Amino acid sequence: MADLGEIPEIPVEIEERGPSKGRKILTIVVTLFIGIAAGGAALYFLGPKLGLTAPPGGKVQAPVIGDDAKTREIENLRRQLDAYSVLGSTEKIRADIEELTKRRQAQGTMEEIATKLRDALDKEESYDALTRDLENLNERIASAQGTLEGMNRQVAEAESRLQGLRTAIARLEEQVGQLDVADARRQAVKAALLRDVEQLIIQIRKSIPLTPPEYAKEARIARASRLKEELENSNWVRPELLEQYTQLYLEEIRIATQEDYFIARIPLEENRKPVMKWAECVSIGNRLVYFETLDRKFTGVCRDTNPQGVIPRYELLVDLPRGELMEIRELMAQYRPQDYEQRIRNQLGEEVELVGTRPTVAQQTRAS
């Protein structure tokens, strides 16, 4: 019959969950406590559950239990108690039962401790997992913070560039506004100069056609027309264009105020036939020319016969009152230069014959 005092150890398996030092120490402690309580593990269940007592006759009475497994256990314990009755007294049995009860209680305590240790190990493992998760989370947070700082720098740079672009746009808009003003002025200046050139061409066309060779009317009109064409094809008023206009304008002013002696060939009518005759001419501005042919047959004036009209009509008038003809001859004598004969020969050739030449005012003065 087996001795109840030699109850085998109830192994408590504690799974080693990692290389943690604290986990190993807890496993050793659990094993030690289980070894101490192993001997009294059977008494822990027999004492409280069976309520064993030793009657005076030395036989232990067990309560009736309806469960078959419990009944077999009680029968087994009864046989063991019978053995105790033979081997020792009731006091010894009670002592053994008490000892078994204590061992059972100790075993229960150790199992509870083992359960708590398992919970603690699980919690420690959970703590380690949480710690790792927290470290990972901290790393992710640090990485995210670095990314955020980089993005903040990029945003700051973008905002700085945007501000620079806004400033540049504002400056360009201001410059565009200035360019618009300058372009408006350019167009206004060009339009004004075009109007002035057109007006100048009109004035030249209205001027007298009988002029000195250097002031030929058609040449003046051609120069003004070329200036107008260049100005129309130009984007702005270039300085050389403005200089050309200035020269043309000053030339017209000089012609309008100048009194010149010159030789010209003029169309006349002799014996009801058109003829071209050389004549001495004196221009008074650009609206009036007095003339006298070299053969002294015609004396007259070239002037506008339609002064009230929009378009002037210049005619060579020879049928004038005697008094006016005398005044013209006196005027010609006043403006005739000293070397007029030589000038005539230089222009017309040596073979020209000056018929009925009249002295100049200076010659008349010396003669008198």
Provide, rounded to the nearest whole percent, the portion of the chain with pLDDT above 70.
Answer: 73
Judge contact between 208 and 287, C-beta under 8 A: yes
**pLDDT for residue 321 is more than 50:** yes
Question: What DSSP element (H or E) covers 280?
Answer: strand 273-284
Mean pLDDT of 227-244: 91
pLDDT at 8: 45
Q: Which of 340, 344, 347 is nearest to 363 (CA)?
A: 340
Measure the CA–CA gap between 294 and 52, rounded to whole angstroms: 183
pLDDT at 129: 84
| Token pair recorded at residue 187 | 């167009």
What's the Cα-to-Cα distance from 263 to each of 95, 111, 301, 340, rounded to whole Å?
174, 151, 14, 9
**Lowest-confidence range among 79-88, 96-105, 242-251, 327-336?**
79-88
What is the 3-state secondary structure of 143-169? HHHHHHHHHHHHHHHHHHHHHHHHHHH
Measure the CA–CA gap between 353 and 342, rounded to whole angstroms: 12
Residue type, 237: V
Which of the pair, 128 or 35, is modelled with greater confidence? 128
pTM: 0.50
**pLDDT for residue 219 is more than 90:** yes
**pLDDT for residue 330 is more than 70:** yes
353: confidence class by pLDDT, cuts 50, 70, 90: low
pLDDT, tens digit, for every residue of 40-86?
Answer: 554 555 555 444 444 444 444 444 445 677 788 778 777 766 665 55
| Mean pLDDT over the full length of the chain | 78
**pLDDT for residue 335 is more than 80:** yes
pLDDT at 320: 92
pLDDT at 233: 92
Residue 51 DSSP label: -
**pLDDT for residue 257 is more than 60:** yes
> Pseudo-torsion of CA 8, 9, 11, 12, nearest 10°?
140
Residue 81 DSSP label: H
Task: Rank 16-25, 173-182, 242-251 by mean pLDDT and report only the highest.
Answer: 242-251
Mean pLDDT of 120-130: 79
Q: Which of 298, 294, 270, 277 is nearest to 356 (CA)?
A: 294
**pLDDT for residue 227 is more than 70:** yes
**Lowest-confidence range among 206-220, 307-321, 337-351?**
337-351
261: confidence class by pLDDT, cuts 50, 70, 90: very high
pLDDT, tens digit, for every residue of 1-48?
Answer: 444 444 444 444 444 444 555 555 556 655 665 655 555 554 555 555
pLDDT at 290: 95
352: confidence class by pLDDT, cuts 50, 70, 90: low
Measure the CA–CA gap between 80 and 2, rounded to whole angstroms: 8
Provide, rounded to the nearest whole percent, the portion of the chain with pLDDT above 90.
Answer: 30
pLDDT at 40: 52
Q: What are phi and psi of 310, to 5 degrees?
A: -75, -40
